[in-house]
Amino acid sequence: MPIIRHTNSPDAVWTRRPDHEVYDFDKIELTPRPDAKGCYANLIKLPPKKAGFPYHYHTINEECFFILNGRGLLRTPEGEQEVAAGDSIFFPTGETGAHQLTNLSETEPLLYLDFDTFHYPEVCFYPDTQKVGIFGENMKQVYYLKDQTKY
């Protein structure tokens, strides 16, 4: 049976990212995690002058953003460029898919669809801070790369 999310309803429930002070966003899960087997989609709203995540790349899952409203600054290995409503952006796995999206507006939110492949375990790298994140079913761990050991 299909799952229908009425995201344009006044009753739509936005959840705020609760785990980090620097990065901020609200989202509506379009494909609930328990039901997603290979595809995950969210409606993301970035507050003015905020990024949702640090600069990072995935080793397992690909991402695609579709900008619905607003203007953002997209950082990739090729540099920075502005994106706006109607732009579609694909991020492959690995270093070439590294990215960070920041809302450029002083007053308006940046709204975009985030479509991902969804497979666990996932390993993400954060080049600016030299961290690695390991994510799985009921698991979320982030470490400094310098803390790695031989076994």
Q: Rounded to two decimals, what is the model's pTM? A: 0.90
The pLDDT tens digits of the residues spanning 39-83 come to 989 999 999 999 999 999 999 999 999 999 999 999 999 999 999
Q: What is the mean pLDDT of residues 126-150?
A: 93
pLDDT for 18 equals 65
Q: Which residues contact 1 (CB under 8 A, 6 or more apart)?
A: none
pLDDT higher than threshold 90 for residue 2: no
In order of their start, the domains of the chain are: 15-120 (2.60.120.10)
The confidence band for 151, taking pLDDT boundaries of 50, 70 and 90, is confident
